[in-house]
Structure 1
């Protein structure tokens, strides 16, 4: 089987620290987390070809955003850049391009080499504190090695979570751009609509969109897309804690398009 095949769900476990590459709930940061059974530590492979070269892109199974290189240095004294979650908006975009380079004598270990010739690496690990992930030119040994763990698929989508509310005093407001897919998953770009949504609750967002489209609450599934070139990701947990615009495609449950959606089984051993 092809290594890191297109469409596969995987985890990346840091060889030195044993913790996983994690899409943070703020929708921006990327860190290390010991939480194996979490959608935030699951990523889906998106392969592209540019100028005769093959690249691996990874988008989060939680929020659909892509593993990317921040354009800014971490600080004046450290030349590394932060790894972030970003949108994939343009065919020529390079901040999301990676190569998975196998490590000699380690069947499942890779170096994640960015197109800028920098390597994905973990920061010093402290389980009590957030542990960021950087992209750096310096060779730091096993802190730059990642063990690829394949994630099997669920036989059925996870159940929709109940409604949740923001903590008292917290306000989050974002624009939702939404479209309805047909039974084959095709979307008419001219059908795009927008509205303002408050909070993070997927339950409330599903209810709002069902009302907007005059559909039954239990009859739809939502997918999110991070950028015009991004792939769809089923939205099954609450939204990230930020205010960036989200593009949502609505599927009708039972349609061939909805039935073809894939959900990683993060609880599988």
Structure 2
């Protein structure tokens, strides 16, 4: 567990296929992809301690803030086990998003609290080895690509937003609500400038009442039409440092024998 530093980024990589666990753009699915540079391949560490002082590993997407979750849904035909997905952290304790780290040093297993191991089949009918790459690096450049045309009408969702206090805290009763169509991060930022009256700020998303704020580095999820909570943190304020990744630690690589 010591390899997973709170609020740092990790990438989950297969030792066999060399592909990375990606948060899919729909904000729900999880897939394998060879693109390491994508923000969708990065997961932020959230160390969670329960009432018995047991520490669990929670991982939320650096792109969408949604948490890596085990499900009871069986994997597609020809594969073993159950699916993993992205979900909100909307209750005080959600067992589906809680993982344990087994094995010290360069080899680890990620085990779900239900006793299942995090694995990827890659289309094969058997389990295979995989790896975890732990990167203590900054992810700060938004990766927005806005498409303003298409056959299907853009998704309409409710945005609830507010500006954080200087220390990064915010008021649960201080939300401003409006409707937003589409998933373009640039257009959302422009809308926030108008509604909040600020210019230099970091856009953070909260995927559930008990989720941590995550700087929005990608477009909004394409298939989650539920209410989205956005907190704007003024740049160069003390609160900004709470949600930026550390830059003074070297990268390290950890291999996993059971992803």
TM bucket, shorter chain: 0.7 to 0.9
Show CA shifts across 1:133-185 (max 9, x none): xxxxx9x55x2x4422122323x832674754253434211111212101110
Distance 1:221 1:52 in 2: 33
Unpaired runs of 5+ in structure 1? 127-137
Paired residue for 2:238, among 256, 259, 264? Answer: 256
Would the aligned equivalents of 2:39 and 2:217 in 1 still touch at CA under 8 Å?
A: no
Distance 1:160 1:20 in 2: 18
Aligned to 1:131: none
Count of residue pairs brought into register by the alignment: 247
Shift of 1:261: 2.9
After TM superposition, list the pairs within 5 Å mapping 1:168-207 onto structure 2. Answer: 168-207=151-190
Q: Secondary structure of the equivalent of 1:123?
A: coil
Show CA shifts across 1:207-250 (max 9, x none): 1111111223xx12110111111111100221111223211111
Q: Secondary structure of the equivalent of 1:90?
A: coil
Distance 2:113 2:67 in 1: 15
Q: Does 1:227 align with 2:208?
A: yes
Q: Which moved more, 1:44-53 or 1:199-208?
A: 44-53
Would the aligned equivalents of 2:60 and 2:68 in 1 still touch at CA under 8 Å?
A: yes
Q: Larger RCO: Structure 1 or Structure 2 (Cα < 8 Å, ≥ 6 residues apart)?
A: 2
Distance 2:46 2:206 in 1: 13
Q: Cα–Cα, structure 1 residues 238 and 264, in superposed 2: closer, same or farther, change >3 Å?
A: farther
Aligned to 1:110: 108
Q: Secondary structure of the equivalent of 2:173?
A: helix
Distance 2:91 2:182 in 1: 29
Aligned to 2:227: 245
Show CA shifts across 1:33-68 (max 9, x none): 101001100011111122342210100100000000
Aligned to 2:56: 55
Shift of 1:72: 2.9
Tell me the TM-score normalized by structure 1: 0.82
Shift of 1:77: 9.1
Q: Cα–Cα, structure 1 residues 158 and 87, in superposed 2: closer, same or farther, change >3 Å?
A: same
Shift of 1:11: 0.5
Q: Which moved more, 1:56-65 or 1:109-118?
A: 109-118
Tell me the TM-score normalized by structure 2: 0.85
Question: Runs of at least 4 residues of structure 1 off by over 6 A?
Answer: 75-79
